[in-house]
Chains A and B, each alone.
Chain A
C-alpha cells in the first residue's frame, strides 16, 4: 500500500508500507479520485522510510542479537513490526498529469494526500498511454519487466541523438540496432566506423549472409574507396587542406589559381597538380603547398584513374531503397581519418544541397577523434537543416560539447559510474539531474536509460534487443590460443 508523503516542486515522496516490488525507473500513477485527475511520476530513488525510533531499534539490536530466544506472540505481531521496519520511501519525479487516461501537461496542482490512490503503473499501460512506438517504429528492447519498447521513426528523423555510456555497456550495439532499424524502413545511414565494428554487419552471427547484406556497403578509404580530384572539387579540397592540413590563406589562394589553370587546360590530375605546385615561384608557398600535396597523395585516397575511383552518387544509387555506407576508419592515421571525414561531410552537404539525396542518418562513433572543434556546432545546426541527422556514440561524454547536449533530442544513456561523466550528461535539458545521477550508475550492461522525444520525455530503462549479426570488432589479441 502506497501513500503520498510529500510533494516539493516536481519531486514527490511516496511511502510504501507493505512489500511492493517497486524499483528505480518504475512509474507510479497517483490518482486523485475526487479531483478526477492524476499524476504520472517516476521512481528515481528508493530507500527506507524514516520510521520514528528506528535508529533506537537498530542501536539496541546488538544488545539482544546475542540472546537466543522464543517469542510467545499470540497476536502474531512480528510481521506487522517487520513491515514497519521495512517501510520504503520512494523519491519520484512528476512527469505529466493525466485526465481520463489522456496525458495532460498541467502538473501545477497537488493531489490529495488522504484520498489519492497510489499504484504502480504497468510498463505496457504507460507505453500505451504515452503513445511510444505505435506506427513506423523500430523495436529497441524491453523494459525490466518485459514490456516491449519501440521508438517512432519520427522521433529520430531530423533529430540529434547521443548514445553514451562507459566501455562495453552496449552503446555500439544499440547504434547498430538503430542503423538496421532505419535501413529496414528505407533510411540511408552513414557510419564513421573507427573500430571496424560495422564492417561485418551484413553477416549473421554464424557468418552467413544476413537479410541486410546487400544494403550494407563497406568503404575503406584508399582501398575500395578512392576519388578523382575532379570529383572531389576545389572547394572540398581547399576545405580539407585548410581545416585538416592547416594551409595558410595565401597558399590557399595560390592553390586555387593552380587548380583553375589545370582545370581550364583539361590537365587536372594528381601528377599535373604536383608538377604545377613545383613550378610555383614563391619558395615558401611552393613548400607549403608541396607538403600538403604530398600528404594528400600519401593517403592513397585520390587517384587519376577513373576506373579505380568511385563517386558517392553511384554508391548511393545502390542503396536508394535504404542502406548504410560504412566508412571504415580503422587503422587509419589520425590525419588521414580527418581528411576523409572532412571530405565526406563536405561532399554530403553538397549532395544534400542539390537534393541528390533527401537526408542521411549519420552515426559518428567517438567523433572527437576525427571531427574538428568548429564542426560540432555545424553538425548540430546547419548540417541538420540540410538533412544530416547525427547520432553521436561515445564513451567520453566530456568529448561532446555542452551545447550539443542541450540541443540533443534523444539521449540513450548506458551505465556510468564516474560522477564527473554523469554530471556532464545531466546537463542535457531533457531530464533532471537526479534521474541521471541515480539511475545511470546502476544500469546493468545492455540496459540504457532512454531520454527525450523517442520516449516522449518519459525516461525509460530498456534492455536492448540482441541482433543476429556480426557485431563485434576484430580486436588483435596476443593470447589467441587461450
Chain B
C-alpha cells in the first residue's frame, strides 16, 4: 500500500522573511499537515494564518493557553485571519525555536473547515507558551493556498516550514 503521508513542499529560510506561502496546493490529498519551527525578530508577535487569500471575516478560534504559571481559554470570532500562535518572542532563550503543527482535515470538501493547531515555545525560562487552538475557516472553497506571516516582524533565518498531504485511500 502506498505511503499516504507525503511531503508536498518545504521552505527552510536562508534569510529572514515576513511571510511564507504555499500555493497551488494539489487537491489530491484528504488532509493537510503543516509542521513549523520558527522564531521571530521582535518581541511578542503572533503567527498569522491566511487561506486562499481570503481576508474576509471568515476566521474564528477558541484557544487553550498555558503560560507556565496559568491556564486560560479565550475566543476570537469573525476575524480576517487566524492567529496560529501567540507571542512568539525574540527575547526567548537564544537558539530556541517554537514548534507548531497545523492540521487541516478535508481541505477540499465543500464545507466550512475546522483546523487543529498545537504550538509551543518552551525556552527554559519563566515565560513560555503552549497554545492549543480550535480554528474555523467559514469558507466552502477547496483550500489551495496557505500564507503564514508576522504582524510587524519577520521569521528568522533557519525557520522551517513543511507541508504534508495525507490520503485516506
Partners in one complex: no
**Contact surface of B with A, Cβ cutoff 8 Å:** none
Which residues of A approach B to under 8 Å, CB–CB? none
